[in-house]
Structure 1
Amino acid sequence: MRLFLLPISTRRSLIYCERLHDRLASERTWLDKITNKANEMWVAWEKDEKSFKRWKKTITVYGNKAFKQIPYEEWGLKTIPALTAKRKSAVVEGKEKVEVMFPGLFLQEKKVPSILLQLATERQALHRKRMLWSIFGMPITIPFILVPVIPNIPFFYLVFRAYSHWKALQGSKHLEFILKTKLLKTIPSSELDEVYTAGLMYSTREISRNAPRPTQHQIEEISKVVDKQTNDGSEDVMVLQRWNGKLIAERFKLPEMEVEIERAVEQVERAIKGKEELVEEKRELERATAAPGQTNGEKAAEIPLEKRSEQVEKEIDDVAKK
């Protein structure tokens, strides 16, 4: 089993699990078969144009919007398989290797275990509680079965959320077990360093694809620029672009990874932007309520967020030109 720890910003990371050996059809459980069938049905509904008033496609449109609101941490934990007795013994006996890859110049190796432990443990209580809420809510949706033509969407949504929380909970327990056994092998990836650097150097996927690979000097310099912009860790700085998810997925031949990265980047961008807007509002309020002698003091000397972003882009452009 191989894990990817992908920093989205300097403070938030996505965990993604690649199974090196997919199960044979004969080895799949009934839960695997139901999940695969549901995924196939959802894809078919997305393309359905013939249903009454296109209700199937309409449901998938609103459903996909709802999926985007599910925290990326939950999606990431769901990629980690449940810890079965067979898998546990395989890990302990050394029959199954567990390794984690990460961009070594954009994420310090010594921080990897603590980040993984936080991802494994901080949401367990939340997933357990919300799984139970979803299960307890299912009987309440029974009256919706009387609606003609359209299936009981509220019931199936609660089923999905209960399953999703259960899957994330199992994934978090598996990750926690791996960390406790101390059998996880950390692997700084030069390939990830390259893709991350290209994402910061270039403005689009097409330019990045056609440009030469970043040199080691450029990678090191841009990682220093990013580190500098965090102001000794006090600022959260984006290190991954949304369009860059496809390039990472292509580099490691994991097409399913693309949507996970794009979703995570969108959510982190929104969170950082919201926090910056709150900070800026607070500064505006402080400037408005401060005494006249203070308005030209330290608060006026603070660098606006827009100027800080321009400085980052300028420093990265300077490195790219070298």
Structure 2
Amino acid sequence: MRAKLIVFPIRARNWCFTRSIDHSLPPPPSSSASSFKELWNNINNAEKSFNAKAELCTDYVADKMNNGWVTLEKAPDGSLKKKIHGLGLWLLSRVKPSEIFLKSISKEVTGVEIVYPSSLNAQLVRRRLRHIAMRGTTVHRKFFYGSVSLIPLSSALSILPLPNVAFFWILYRSYSHWRALQGSEKLFQLVSNSSNSSITFTDKKGTEHSDSQSESLSSDKPHCILSPSEELEKLVHQEDGNDGLSRDTITEICKLYNLNTKDVIKYEKSIF
């Protein structure tokens, strides 16, 4: 599956990195176990690798958290569960957009098409994506281990006669950092020049030019396609001043490329 990534400067040195939402793709099939007994049996399968077992545990926890979140969302207004849901929305709004972007690079992604304003240098765009992937690997690995270490401490709060919000939030952050870490490693692999990754540049006429010395005639489709866009260039540079893009322009770009407007706006104040 090829993911379309949209890159453009949004304010001064702040660039937006986001993935286009493809509504035509069906949701990936769930591989999570329906019960803890089934999960335990799958983990004890000697044929599965450590990474495969870790994925099973992660999918199981994610499935349970999603079910719990849906329950909170459907709670009646004014109830404690609804207030907890509101608190969760507030906490989620403070998650950095780069983390959301890296999480969108799932294990099903086998290639990326990078769309950017035609005035930007293609090598600069790719270097900045590599920088985000490299730093994401370091940052989210550190925070993943930190969040996991807090799970036993937060679970002790379950003795209180209140919902253990801290435990579920730390559990979610552990899962989120794990997914961002996996996305960082995947993105770095796709946008780097190596024997396992080929880079293709698309010029204004739509002609593709390979940039991988190890690419053979029998190789698969390129892992990374850099596509300069005149249309995105016009939208980004239709405004003067140093205050960045207006909300109307951001909304127009989001509609054009099927982006999440709230996530894009976060980049106004976030460099990484």
TM-score above 0.5, yes or no: yes
Which of the residues 172, 175, 182 maps onto 2:184? Answer: 172
**What do the CA deviations read for 1:288-319 (whole angstroms, capped 9, x no partner)?**
xxxxxxxxxxxxxxxxxxxxxxxxxxxxxxxx
- 1:133 matched to which residue of 2? 146
Higher normalized contact order (CA 8 Å, seq sep 6+, divided by chain length): 2
- In structure 1, C-alpha distance between the alignment counterparts of 2:225 and 2:149, rounded to whole Å: 40
| Cα root mean square deviation, aligned | 2.9
Q: CA deviation at 1:158?
A: 0.7
* C-alpha contact 1:104 1:188 (8 A) present in aligned 2: yes
Structure 2 counterpart SS, 1:42: helix
- In structure 2, C-alpha distance between the alignment counterparts of 1:196 and 1:6, rounded to whole Å: 8
TM-score by structure 2 length?
0.67
Q: Which amino acid aligns with 1:7?
A: P
Which of the residues 28, 42, 53 maps onto 2:69? Answer: 42
**What do the CA deviations read for 1:121-168 (whole angstroms, capped 9, x no partner)?**
1232221111011111101112221233x4321111111111111111
Of Structure 1 and Structure 2, the greater strand share is in: 2
- 1:288 matched to which residue of 2? none
Q: Which amino acid aligns with 1:262?
A: I
- 1:252 matched to which residue of 2? 257
Q: CA deviation at 1:34?
A: 6.0
Unaligned ranges ≥5, structure 2? 33-57, 200-223
- In structure 2, C-alpha distance between the alignment counterparts of 1:244 and 1:48, rounded to whole Å: 36
After superposition, the Cα gap between the structure-2 partners of 1:47 and 1:189, relative to the gap in structure 1 and judged at 3 Å, is: farther
Structure 2 counterpart SS, 1:122: helix
Unaligned ranges ≥5, structure 1? 92-96, 201-221, 227-236, 272-322
**Is 1:22 matched up with 2:25?**
yes
Q: CA deviation at 1:176?
A: 0.6
**Is 1:182 matched up with 2:207?**
no
Q: Which amino acid aligns with 1:16?
A: T
Structure 1 counterpart SS, 2:154: helix
* C-alpha contact 1:45 1:56 (8 A) present in aligned 2: yes
Structure 2 counterpart SS, 1:7: strand
Which of the residues 256, 261, 265 maps onto 2:264? Answer: 261
- In structure 1, C-alpha distance between the alignment counterparts of 2:261 and 2:66, rounded to whole Å: 17
**What do the CA deviations read for 1:26-76 (whole angstroms, capped 9, x no partner)?**
x332256864674565366356334xx522232233323322332222121
Q: CA deviation at 1:109?
A: 2.6
**Is 1:101 matched up with 2:126?**
no
Within 5 Å, give how 1:42-121 maps onto structure 2.
Answer: 42=69, 45-46=72-73, 48-50=75-77, 54-82=79-107, 91=110, 97-105=111-119, 107-121=120-134
Identity of matched residues, %:
26
- In structure 2, C-alpha distance between the alignment counterparts of 1:253 and 1:19, rounded to whole Å: 5
- In structure 1, C-alpha distance between the alignment counterparts of 2:138 and 2:246, rounded to whole Å: 31
Structure 1 counterpart SS, 2:262: helix
* C-alpha contact 2:18 2:264 (8 A) present in aligned 1: no
- In structure 2, C-alpha distance between the alignment counterparts of 1:64 and 1:193, rounded to whole Å: 34
After superposition, the Cα gap between the structure-2 partners of 1:239 and 1:156, relative to the gap in structure 1 and judged at 3 Å, is: same
Aligned length: 215
Q: Which amino acid aligns with 1:8?
A: I
Of Structure 1 and Structure 2, the greater helix share is in: 1
Q: Which amino acid aligns with 1:76?
A: F
- In structure 1, C-alpha distance between the alignment counterparts of 2:249 and 2:68, rounded to whole Å: 29
Structure 2 counterpart SS, 1:69: coil
Q: Which amino acid aligns with 1:251?
A: L
Greater C-alpha radius of gyration: 1
- In structure 1, C-alpha distance between the alignment counterparts of 2:118 and 2:64, rounded to whole Å: 39
- 1:123 matched to which residue of 2? 136
**What do the CA deviations read for 1:59-97 (whole angstroms, capped 9, x no partner)?**
233323322332222121111113x6xx6xxx4xxxxx5
Q: Which amino acid aligns with 1:239?
A: G
